[in-house]
Structure 1
Amino acid sequence: MSATPHGLHKALLSLLVPMMVVSGTGNLTTLAQASDRPADVVRVTHQQPEDQYSSVLSEPNFQHRDRHHRHDIPVQFLGINDLHGGLDTSGKAYIGGKVYENTGNVSRLAAYLDQAQRQFRHVHLSRNTFRVQAGDMVGASPANSTLLAHEPTMHALRAMKFQIGTLGNHEFDQGLPEFNRILTGGRPGKDADKLIQRYPHLASKMQEVVANVVRKDNGKQPYGYRPYTIRTVRAHGRSAKVGFIGIETTELPTLTYERNYKDYKVLDEAKTIAKYDRILNAKGVKAVVVLAHRGVQNNKTSAWGNGVDILQRVNKLDPHNNVGLFVGAHTHMYGNALVGKTHVVQALSSARAFDDTQGYINPKTGKFSALETHVYPVLSAKADPKTKSNRRVARIIKDANRRVAGKINAVIGKAASAEAIKQASTANGESPVGELVVDGQLFEAQKNGLKADFAMTNSGGVRSSLNVDANQAITWGAAQAVQPFGNVLQVVEMTGAQVIKALNNQYSGGFKELQVAGLRYTFAAQGKTKQVVQVTKADGQPLDPQATYRVVINDFLHGNKSFTFQGTKIVGSLASDTEVFVQYVKDMQAAGKPIVAPQANRKVFVKADAAVLGTTLPNAQPAA
């Protein structure tokens, strides 16, 4: 490793205003030279050049010890985020300017983590490696994790020797008591499915740290979790301490049921980081790593996301903080950048990638003296046959698949072609499989006599494309993967005005995009402002703002304050969204109707000037 040149930085910065996002010139940051300027001029710098190597074995600066730090203590942090029980899922990985096909599978991930740790040990003769995760290890998962209460995922994390992790929002999906049970290897309740009862229950051996989730009744972290943990690293007869702070997203109340978070407070992320950084500093810990369920992202010229915003605030609260590394999560994106003196990194999701941070701690100051961060893909065996899958983890996957095979492999329907119905949305926000989901919900509600007019679901609840095999068959497992949460569907009464308001509110920020069935609408935009300007029923008849309609939604939407559905009158209910989608595929099969992707014509963009965007058109309302 060698220090980053700063001449070009200085030349560029002389032309830039404070807080402007600039391009960097190298990966290694010598932290003693990093910005200690006042927080209002802290730089956000993209890592340049972008990650361009597919393996740590090819990374130039990771092949030798930096002579400038020969007396410092070498450290390595191997991180993942948003695993989502993706034991053997695969997909594209967009890292830097490259696209890698068919990445994923935790047995492959385990092999690459082992490879990276061996390489670090070989170069530095050091065992100072930490395997960390930033939340959402479980939840929104395929059937081989979900049907076994995610215990195979915990077995895999144990086999991969993850040491420290934090909570994401999906750890609350079945309530925090259930997550803590699978984390610690407790036995399930007597009412659990036999598949779960029969599965081995093992503790993950992973320490949970979460600083900003506390019980309302006593202000303490639940289940004995700690706000931080301290680990000691050694080399050359000297030692230093590393502190790890865990951070949950403050958006938690908008991402899970009220019953799952009602007993807890989620404290401000930036204030919490600054608080515990000071506490760690008082304990002699000057090298701090934050594991945060908050997203970071960048392109060639800029970096952004809640993680970046949080670190900017941390730097304002405490310009001399010692946070050297911020491992992000939640948005499933690629991130590798520098915010002031803090490296921020994020490695996609579902075992498609991992991040490898290597560097040094000065034993005299206890501070990071240099860090370098990279994100690498988890390549398939075909793309990288030399790297063999981890056998122990592969056995865990194979065993889980065997246990659930009878259920997930059952064919429930046929598609019109052998091509998957895609999850990805169009530019106007229409997801083919998302619209198929709401078509199914509307159909099943009407079949059951609930006289529904429309159906709506949040795009965040649609987690996968609908995969179809070569014979055009659709299995139970493929359908379950599309909507794995099991949210109960309800039919509510709404006025046309409330429906329009709900459509407008999806554009007010956050993860609120809706998939709709039974209606169509046009929307206009100016800058970041979007507004619905006309809504019709599927037959082309205008929506009456004064009329009452029946709308199928899930109970997450109904109880979520961020949407418009809270408080609407429930007039009926169906089964879970997972069960209803499976039944819809079965019903189409019984009717001799192959499943096809809906035509993307439900959301139409129209150009409009500022005058249009403030008006009330014949059957629409201004955005809330």
Structure 2
Amino acid sequence: MLRSLHLRAISPEAKKVGLAAFLSATAFAAVLGITAPAQAPVERSVAAPAAASPDSVELQLLGVNDLHGRLESPKAVRRETGGAPVDIGGVAALDAHLDRAERSHPGRTIRVHAGDMVGASPLLSSRFHDEPTVRAMNLMDFDVGTLGNHEFDEGGRELTRLLRGGQRSDGGQFKRDAAGRKANTSAPDFEGVDFPYIAANTVDREGRLGLPPTRVIERAGVKVGFIGVTTTATPNHVLDEYTERFEWLDISDTVNRQASELRRRGVEAIVVLAHSGAYDVNGDPGAAAGEIIDEAREMTGAVDVVIAGHTHSRLNTRVANSDGLGDKLVVEANSYGAAFDRVRLTLDLRSGDVTAKSADTPTTWNDEVAPDPAVAALVARYRAALGGMGERTVGRLAEGLERAGSLSEVAARAQRRLANADVAFVEGGNSRGSLAEGMVTYDELFEASSYEHQVMRMEMTGAGVRRVLEQQWEAEPDAPLHVAGPDEAALDDDATYVVAANALLMDQDQFTAFREYGRGVRPVGTDLEALEGWISSRGRETGVGG
């Protein structure tokens, strides 16, 4: 909140809800012990900017991607081998890190994000329809952001509400409490996002989203143009009913058109906010392969920097321009607020051109900063509003469940049980995290299975079940499934089987067998409910078996 709160006397939140209400809220946070420490932790030094010539100025971009509603620290990691684990991330610490970084470039910093700030969120944000995360973003003083695929998780109507504000009223506003009672958990005074979003390659066929393709921001007498784009694979990650009104155009073609328009307007420094990513090669963040690298090669040389997202990777690489003159800097800062992008641009004051650029992606170690008090108070209020729901014990695991393997296997068994099915299919990306051995709280369970996709029950012939098994290997690349049920060799093609699969898996283009063979399709609950039922009924006595 550095720019809105130079002396940290009155926060942006106080301006929104009124000083009296804000003081009451912060007093409540103090009761919970969520206050800034009396003595702030020792801050590690932030390198001062290089001296600029009279003809140039250095600007700084601070970027975040793929927060996914992680309001609290997602994990603790060791800074060095043998050292004690240190918390990273959490929006109060993340904001404090951004504030600290901005102090090196006062009046010359722009804060941005590359999408997926909401969606697939933990209970603390998801239960309140990601309104807490939007409010946290508002306090963090972003200047511009773009859309990720998860912003579309609940459709265009809910996305528009998150951007523009208002209480949810589409029927999805009701959530069940621990006793099974429905409650409206959307705030009547929800204000929506208070900074611009841009979306150049997202086409809304109904014309209601209304987001501009670009944004021009001026600092220290120079202009920087931003173009927002989203992965064209978005329909693969979202239910068809929520994407059918949208189309995602080719990323590089879109960027090239918009870059030409920005240059026509006299803007020479151009940055792409891309919810599109890549993966490092052999652990080297300077070498990468993936969608955004391919698209960057096709982008005009007028683009100087790409702030990437989507793949939850740590990238800091350069892509050569196709004309052989110069390159583009491509950076991505992991996910969940565990790190942030810090990009420095030297611009010629006369031409506006970028003459030098560099980047790093610092980790958001919690012991290096004092948490921002207003953001911490916001998080504390929502944690209190859960009323202990997250701390409720679901069951006990005799052994841990890994996201990429055993958890998905157990999820398949759980969905088979929920649907009283003969066979259940679960895709490899069904889970968002792992579960550790021992007692499992509802918070932990929700974070591991936060999609809350509907589990669908249907009848299929053995031939149909066999076709699903075949289709997992026909995709490019293949899409291995976790299966609970009889071996393929035991299937009778003419027999009828009860099958369970979640709605998103059934929507996937490569798995047409569900639509071709499925009969009597109906929802029986969510994947989260299935996993909770499995752990609560079996985890106490028998671990993960059964």
TM-score, normalising length from structure 2? 0.82
1:15-414 equivalent positions in 2, closer than 5 A = 62-67=47-52, 69-91=53-75, 102-121=87-106, 127-189=107-169, 191=171, 192-193=173-174, 194-198=183-187, 200-216=189-205, 222-234=208-220, 239-298=221-280, 299-300=283-284, 302-314=287-299, 318=300, 321-340=301-320, 341-381=327-367, 384=368, 387-414=369-396
State the shift of 1:216 in Å.
2.5
Does 2:539 match 1:585? Answer: no
Report the secondary structure of 1:339's partner residue: strand
Equivalent in 410, 414, 438 of residue 412 of structure 2: 438
- 1:509 alignment partner in structure 2: 477
CA RMSD of aligned residues (A): 2.8
Q: In structure 1, list runs of 5 or more residues that go unmatched.
A: 1-54, 122-126, 426-430, 447-451, 520-535, 600-624
Q: 4+ residue runs of structure 1 moved beyond 6 angstroms?
A: 92-95, 97-100
Query: Structure 1 residues 414 and 196 mapped into 2: Cα distance closer, same or farther (>3 Å)?
Result: same
Letter in 2 for 1:226: P
Rounded Cα–Cα distance in structure 1 between residues aligned with 2:456 and 2:227: 40
Deviations 1:408-461 (Å, cap 9, x if unpaired)? 2222222226xx4222x3xxxxx1211111111112222xxxxx2221222223
Assess if the C-alpha contact under 8 Å between 2:468 and 2:511 holds in 1: no
Larger radius of gyration: 1
Change (3 A) 1:283 1:593: same
Which of 450, 460, 463 matches 2:429?
Answer: 460
Letter in structure 2 aligned against 1:515: H
CA contact (8 A) 1:491 1:570 kept: no
Cα separation, partners in 2 of 1:56 and 1:248, compared to 1, 3 Å: farther
Give the partner amino acid of 2:210: G
CA deviation profile, 1:464-496 (whole Å, cap 9, x unmatched): 21256xxx3322222222222221111342525
Q: CA deviation at 1:587?
A: 2.6
Q: Give the Å deviation of 1:547.
A: 5.6
Is 1:576 the equivalent of 2:526?
A: yes
User: Does structure 2 conserve the Cα–Cα contact (< 8 Å) formed by 1:82 and 1:329?
Assistant: yes
SS state at 1:353 partner: coil
Q: CA deviation at 1:92?
A: 6.4
For the residues of structure 2 that align with 1:56 and 1:280, how far apart are their CA atoms? 39
Q: Percent identity?
A: 27
Relative to structure 1, the CA distance from residue 497 to residue 566 in structure 2 (aligned partners, 3 Å threshold; closer, same or farther) is: closer
Deviates more, 1:266-275 or 1:298-307: 298-307
Deviations 1:390-422 (A, max 9, x none): 1111111111111113322222222226xx422
CA shift in 2, pair 1:458/1:92, >3 Å: farther
Q: What letter corresponds to residue 269 of structure 2 in structure 1? A: A
**Structure 1: distance between partners of 2:317 and 2:82:** 17
Contact 1:505 1:563 in 2 (8 A): no
Counterpart for residue 485 of structure 1: 451
Asked if 2 retains the 8 angstrom alpha-carbon contact of 1:322 and 1:367, the reply is no
Q: Report the number of matched residues.
A: 481
Instruction: Name the TM-score, length of structure 1 as normaliser.
Output: 0.72
- Between 1:182-191 and 1:266-275, the stretch displaced more is 182-191
SS in 2 for 1:288: strand
Letter in 2 for 1:330: H
* Alpha-carbon displacement from aligned partner over 1:273-330 (angstroms, at most 9, x marks no partner): 000000111111111010011003334373211110001112xxx4xx3211101111
Letter in 2 for 1:497: R
Per the alignment, residue 6 of structure 2 pairs with none
Q: Which residue of 1 aligns with 2:511?
A: 563
In 1, distance between residues paired with 2:77 and 2:209?
35
**C-alpha contact 1:296 1:344 (8 A) present in aligned 2:** no
Taking the aligned partners of 1:148 and 1:248, their CA distance within structure 2 comes to 25
Output aligned runs, 1:536-555, within 5 Å. Answer: 536=487, 542-543=490-491, 549-555=497-503
Provide the C-alpha distance between the structure 1 equivalents of 2:43 and 2:262, rounded to a whole number of angstroms.
31
Structure 2 CA distance, aligned partners of 1:110 and 1:322? 31
Contact 1:490 1:570 in 2 (8 A): no
How far did 1:101 drift?
5.6
Seen in structure 2, the aligned counterparts of structure 1 residues 204 and 215 have a Cα distance that, compared at 3 Å, is closer
How far residue 184 of structure 1 moved from its aligned partner, in angstroms, is: 2.4
Deviation at 1:513, TM superposition (A): 4.2
SS at match of 1:504: coil
Deviation at 1:203, TM superposition (A): 2.8
Residue aligning to 2:33: none
